[in-house]
Amino acid sequence: MRPAGGFQLRLFGGTVGLGIPPSQWLLLCGFSLTLLLALGKRRGELVTPGHTGTTRSVLGAYSLDLIDQLLAICATLTLAAYGLYTISPDTVAVHGAGDLPYTIPIVTYGVFRYLVILRGDNDGDPSKLLFTDRQLQVTAVLWLAAVVWMMR
């Protein structure tokens, strides 16, 4: 699950590059989200063996039940960290966006939708799912529009 570390560095670098102190809640949310997406991809590899042409030996260390439990933990942590990020006094002070908690239902729906999609016949690739699932697309646009509107 190496991409999680790279995503964290980009998230940290982005906040520093914008001159914003990185929030602990944002970093935790980003980390748990990347683990969620990586586990979703791993789940896809388990349920559709050979989808990439080869079956990796590391998949033998995972069971579908274990992956599903880890996905539930990461989804819970992602939503909790995002919620705490939106209500953090530091977030409100830095961004002047006291209304961010109103985006929690949108993010919750997006995470739940991703988990539902993972139960289907797909390889769990979050990029493919975002570009093929209309509900995820609408959710992402709605969240982005709400955040931009609240931070103006």
Q: Which domains are assigned to the chain?
A: 3-150 (1.10.357)
Q: Of 50 and 145, which is predicted with more confidence? A: 145
Buried b (16+ CB within 10 A) or exposed e, 7-28: bbeebeeebeeeeeebbebbbb
* pLDDT value of residue 21: 77
Give pLDDT tens digits for 8-44: 777 777 777 777 777 889 889 999 999 999 999 889 8
Tokens encoding 44: 């896809």
Closest Cα partner for 27 from 9, 53, 2, 44? 9
Global pTM reads: 0.85
Give pLDDT tens digits for 92-128: 888 888 999 999 999 999 999 999 999 988 888 888 9
The span from the CA of 83 to the CA of 110, in Å, is 14
| Residues 36, 82 contacting (CB under 8 angstroms) | no
For helices 104-118 and 64-87, give the axis angle rounded to 10 degrees: 170
